[in-house]
Amino acid sequence: EDKVVQSPLSLVVHEGDTVTLNCSYEVTNFRSLLWYKQEKKAPTFLFMLTSSGIEKKSGRLSSILDKKELSSILNITATQTGDSAIYLCAVEGSGGSNYKLTFGKGTLLTVNP
């Protein structure tokens, strides 16, 4: 069974700090890893990382895939209160059913002013 573990489960920082969120996975025939941000309602897509695209960046957010360590990090620099959310990591493998994403439990990030 595919498994995704995120750490830390929660994190409290001050505005302007830099944070690193971790995601490790065990999956049959890794296909992709996705990061989502969830505030009050629906998760919104941040990044997708695959074997052919192991680093992504968008503004203050960046993510790297380490295929050897079977893990990924999500970095947020110069954090703002609007970054407060749950960050979900999800992995898709092709060993089981197609279309099934396995989610981690998420990291709850709180950014205080």
Partner 1 sequence: DTEVTQTPKHLVMGMTNKKSLKCEQHMGHRAMYWYKQKAKKPPELMFVYSYEKLSINESVPSRFSPECPNSSLLNLHLHALQPEDSALYLCASSFRLLTGANVLTFGAGSRLTVL
Binding mask 6-45 for partner 1 (x = CB under 8 A): -------------------------xx-x-x----xxxxx
- Which CB sits closer to partner 1, 17 or 61? 61
Peptide bond into 8 cis (omega under 30): yes
- Which CB sits closer to partner 1, 19 or 104? 104
The Cα–Cα gap between 4 and 68 comes to 16
- Indicate which single residue of 1, 58, 82, 97 sits in contact with partner 1 (rule: CB under 8 A): 97
CB 63 within 8 A of CB 73: yes
The Cα–Cα gap between 102 and 97 comes to 11
- Indicate which single residue of 65, 92, 109, 111 sits in contact with partner 1 (rule: CB under 8 A): 92
Does 105 engage in binding with partner 1 (CB under 8 A)?
yes
CB of 85 to partner 1, least distance (A): 13
> How many Cα atoms within 13 Å fall on the side-chain side of residue 100?
14
